[in-house]
Amino acid sequence: MLSAGPTPHTPLEQWTFTIEGATPSPLTWSWGELLALPAETITVDIHCVTKWSKFATQWRGVSLDTLLDGVVASEARFAMAFCDGGYTTNLPLADLTGGRAWVAYEFAGAPLHAEHGGPARLLVPHLYFWKSAKWVRGLRLMAADERGFWEGYGYHDRGDPWLEQRYQGD
Ligand SMILES: Nc1nc2c(c(=O)[nH]1)N[C@H]1C(S)=C(S)[C@@H](COP(=O)(O)O)O[C@H]1N2
Ligand SMILES: [Mo]
């Protein structure tokens, strides 16, 4: 369970990251604008639902706290990450804030490889890795939860590895 389709290759001049839905003020960043935001280096363990883990992986990216800072969306409780290639995954907004989620564009000190989600992917290391959407292009904020790609096939809406939330009902 790694990629649900072919690797998209969006030129950086066409790349944007957008936060939309449940907000009167959608925000969009170009690639250059994203890189100009304050970035963080993150060293974390990641966990795939099919039981592999990778320890002490190093990433660089922009905190979702930074990106969500200017967004007014009092009704929003959940977000749907959307990607080039059509992949989606849903997350509680609370899991994207509090210094626990990033839009990451470097891995191990180098630009993120396209196969691993480059130019940028979501990084939500405290949840199962299918929530860390590769080739991410934005978040759609939602008042009520909806299911993304794997969640629609029975995977868990939240996916906390410590609670072993693999499937709906876990
Ligand atoms: N856009 C997109 N993101 C995705 C996926 C996918 O199929 N498409 N697969 C998820 C799953 S199930 C896993 S385990 C990780 C794999 O990331 P990696 O290829 O960098 O190891 O990406 C996640 N993000
Ligand atoms: Mo996975």
C-alpha 78/C-alpha 143 separation (Å) is 6
User: What are the tens digits of pLDDT across the range 122-167?
Assistant: 999 999 999 999 999 999 999 999 999 999 999 999 999 999 999 9
Q: Give residue limits of the domains in the chain.
A: 16-163
C-alpha 122/C-alpha 82 separation (Å) is 10
Decide if pLDDT at 14 tops 90.
yes
Query: What is the model's pLDDT at position 137?
Result: 98
Atom of ligand 1 at shortest range from CA of 116: 20
Decide if pLDDT at 117 tops 70.
yes
Of 54, 34, 37, 38, whose CA–CA distance to 46 is shortest?
Answer: 54
Query: What is the model's pLDDT at position 110?
Result: 98
C-alpha 83/C-alpha 104 separation (Å) is 14
Decide if pLDDT at 24 tops 90.
no
**Beta-ladder partners of 110:** 107
How many Cβ atoms from other residues are within 10 Å of residue 141's Cβ? Answer: 21
Share of the chain above pLDDT 90, in %: 88
Q: How far is the CA of 1 from the centre of ligand 2 (A)?
A: 4
User: What are the tens digits of pLDDT across the range 60-96?
Assistant: 999 999 999 989 888 999 999 999 999 999 999 999 9
How many Cβ atoms from other residues are within 10 Å of residue 103's Cβ? Answer: 25
Q: What would be the CATH architecture of the domain defined by 16-163?
A: Alpha-Beta Complex (3.90)
Around ligand 1, the residues with Cβ closer than 6 Å are: 1-4, 48, 83, 85, 87, 116-117, 129-130, 132-135
Alpha helices for the chain (secondary structure H): 31-36, 64-68, 149-152
Decide if pLDDT at 1 tops 70.
no
CB 74 within 8 A of CB 30: no
User: What's the chain's average pLDDT?
Assistant: 95
Decide if pLDDT at 42 tops 90.
yes
Question: With a threshold of 0.75, does the pTM exceed it?
Answer: yes
